[in-house]
Amino acid sequence: GAGVSQTPSNKVTEKGKYVELRCDPISGHTALYWYRQSLGQGPEFLIYFQGTGAADDSGLPNDRFFAVRPEGSVSTLKIQRTERGDSAVYLCASSLLPVGELFFGEGSRLTVL
Amino acid sequence: RKEVEQDPGPFNVPEGATVAFNCTYSNSASQSFFWYRQDCRKEPKLLMSVYSSGNEDGRFTAQLNRASQYISLLIRDSKLSDSATYLCVVNMRGSQGNLIFGKGTKLSVKP
């Protein structure tokens, strides 16, 4: 389909491991967002890209989290030395405009054992 | 004060009822406001944007009160299919893309 695609849909890993989550936005959408959502909570802002650059990374919780979008399309969220508290659904969204409608992917559910 | 606050509910209402949700935000410089809907175990989807003059879409009405820094969502003639979590979204920090979600208000419409 033409929607936002996220892979993997589910990832189980062990504490201390490295994880990459991928997001393929809607074609032509220049704005891309990463959120994470825990059960019973709203999506928590992590980072926002406008084109290739991270326009706002103020939501990244610490330096274990890093995201890239090298060609202004696909983005990868990278988590180093995972902790149990990183377990959540990681949502990616894209938008045609910086403050336009966000189109979300179905999310990547990360479980850290 | 949290950046975006919502009453988590749940709001349990009968079909046909009118229900209203409020959401308060902390940044008086915020310019963009939205309501999103999220069904259980699904991704959020835009319900409606909130404009300064208020706006209506069928049974849904959104209002903005800048002086008191809150937005509201009114749902008239509730349907079973309206059962979902309603998320308030506000841009923060003067950054257009810093879109902050509230925790959401859960609505359950009963027959």
**A2-57 residue pLDDT tens:** 899 999 999 999 999 999 999 999 999 999 999 999 999 999 999 999 989 888 99
Which of A45, A60, A91 should be substituted to probe chain B, the one whose Cβ sees the most B Cβ atoms within 10 Å? A45
**Residue A92 structure tokens:** 């990616």
Instruction: For residue range B9-61, list pLDDT tens digits in order.
Output: 899 999 999 999 999 999 888 888 999 999 999 999 999 999 888 899 999 99
CA distance A34 to chain B (A): 11
Beta carbons of A48 and B100 less than 8 Å apart? no
Please answer whether residues A112 and A89 qualify as being in contact, where contact means their C-beta atoms are separated by less than 8 angstroms.
no
C-alpha pair distances (Å), B46 with each of A81, B9, B35, B38, B86: 34, 20, 6, 9, 10
Mean pLDDT of chain A: 95
Nearest to B97 among A41, A48, A107 (CB): A48
